[in-house]
Amino acid sequence: MRLRLLADEIERSGLGPDLAVADARVVVVCPAANRDYLLAVQSTPLAKRFPALPSVEAIMQATLRQPDGIQIAASEALLAGLRASPQAASIAPWLDYHALRYGW
């Protein structure tokens, strides 16, 4: 939520007098298998307020005026996309590091 508040402020005031920002989004990168992070803890106030919403992402989106202002992306999907992209050769050492350290 703090990052979303920062994004809202950046949209309002920009990054400087001549650096307006039309859209700022928060993207949380998390492995798909990290269910403890992705699923809402049902005893929290927001989860109680939205009992039909099972995920942190869905609850956060339900609280925002612009629901697409926050999204969660799976790290392994992002890396797969980067490996298939034209930039893959220029970031090969970084991609290899992730494959070795994290397995994706």
Residue for token digits 């590091």? Answer: 97
pLDDT at 104 over 90: no
Spatial separation of the C-alpha atoms in residues 64 and 58, rounded to whole Å: 10
Residue 16, strand partner residues: 19
Predicted pLDDT of residue 65: 87
Q: Where are the domains of the chain?
A: 2-102
pTM beyond 0.95, yes or no: no
Using one digit for the tens of pLDDT, what is the confidence trace for 1-49?
A: 899 999 999 999 999 889 999 999 999 999 999 999 999 999 999 999 9
Using one digit for the tens of pLDDT, what is the confidence trace for 47-67?
A: 999 999 999 999 999 999 889
